Amino acid sequence: MSTGTTDEVVRAEDPLDLTLSTDELDAHRDHIIDFIAAQFDAAAADRAVIGLSGGIDSTLTSHLLVEALGAERVHALVMPSEVNREANMSDAERVASELLDVEYDVIAINPLVDAFLDAYPDAADDRMAAGNLRVRVRAVLNYLVANHEGGLVAGTGNRSEALVGYFTKYGDGAVDCHPIANLYKGQVRQLARHVGVPDDLAAKTASAEMWVGQTDEAELGVDYETLDSVLALHVDGPLSASATAREVGVSEDVVAKVRGLYEASAHKRAAPPGPEPLY
């Protein structure tokens, strides 16, 4: 998942205003709910399985799943490890039990992670390898439950994370659909508030919690408001690097870094390649 840890977080002087109007938020909500219903109808899937982390992405996605399918068709998994903050795990259970009233299970993943590291101890002190292992173990559990229940695994990835490759390949990227994949991170927070997610959850500092003390923005080296602006103007949009830098109020080096993350992570957004048939 990592894009390289940095000690300094760049913040734009004048980030692009990506605020959605009430009508636009309603349109996004309806569009995503229709998408979810269509995906599950096409697969004749009985249930949705989702990993709840206590973060805003999984919280919003689970809300939309309940709206689209009904609470009785959503099964949440809370999968703590030794590096997860207790408050986040408590928030995950709060979302499942108090806010949504969906079935959920708490499955501690430490024994599974330890079994892998015991099998290959050379990786035990590799923070990145062990962090990605935790994410992939959760993916395996999601699919174990989904297969058992005739369901689909719902992902929680957003547009910002996807464009810079800020997810674990075959980990949190291993899902059957990504309901909020069309929303930048800031828009995820906007829509969450719009559908009634409490502000203390909507405003939480984002962290993949791959290791103790990890936060998304510190690892990316840029705050999400700035990242969203550069992505919308330069990667998704038509502006050059220099024009984007001027518009957002950052150096061209920051724009180049974001562009580099996008280009280097192309393999994460595509199916594994193979040679073309000879005949």
pLDDT level of residue 129 (50, 70, 90 thresholds): very high
pLDDT at residue 5 in the model:
46
Output 137 or 7, whichever has higher pLDDT: 137
Copy the structure tokens of residue 151.
């369901």
- In the predicted structure, residue 210 carries a pLDDT above the cut 80: no
Q: What's the mean pLDDT when you consider all of the chain?
A: 92
d(CA 255, CA 240): 9
pLDDT level of residue 209 (50, 70, 90 thresholds): low
Closest Cα to residue 218, out of 205, 228, 201, 199?
Answer: 205
- In the predicted structure, residue 29 carries a pLDDT above the cut 70: yes
- In the predicted structure, residue 183 carries a pLDDT above the cut 70: yes
Backbone phi and psi for residue 104, each to the nearest 5 degrees, phi listed first: -150, 155
pLDDT level of residue 260 (50, 70, 90 thresholds): very high
Element (H, E) at 152: strand 152-153
pLDDT at residue 164 in the model:
96
pLDDT level of residue 158 (50, 70, 90 thresholds): very high
* % of the chain exceeding 90 in pLDDT: 81
> Residue 268: which residues within 8 A CB-CB, separation 6 or more?
162, 165, 167, 169, 173
Domains of the chain: 22-215 (3.40.50.620)
Summarize pLDDT for 5-24 with one digit per residue, the tens: 445 788 888 888 999 999 99
Alpha-carbon distances of 7 from 13, 206, 228, rounded to whole Å = 19, 16, 20
What average pLDDT does the segment 79-85 reach? 83
What average pLDDT does the segment 235-242 reach? 97
What average pLDDT does the segment 149-154 reach? 98
- In the predicted structure, residue 84 carries a pLDDT above the cut 90: no
Residues in a beta bridge with 76:
50, 104
What average pLDDT does the segment 210-224 reach? 80
d(CA 5, CA 34): 38
d(CA 227, CA 221): 10
- In the predicted structure, residue 167 carries a pLDDT above the cut 90: yes
Question: Hey, how many other C-beta atoms are within 10 angstroms of the C-beta on 130?
Answer: 18
Residues in a beta bridge with 51:
77
What average pLDDT does the segment 126-130 reach? 94
* % of the chain exceeding 70 in pLDDT: 95
- In the predicted structure, residue 257 carries a pLDDT above the cut 50: yes
- Residue 119 falls in which region: left (phi positive, over 0), alpha (psi -120 to 50) or beta: alpha
What average pLDDT does the segment 162-167 reach? 96
Our measurement of the distance from residue 174's CA atom to the centroid of its chain's CA atoms, rounded to an integer in Å, reads 11
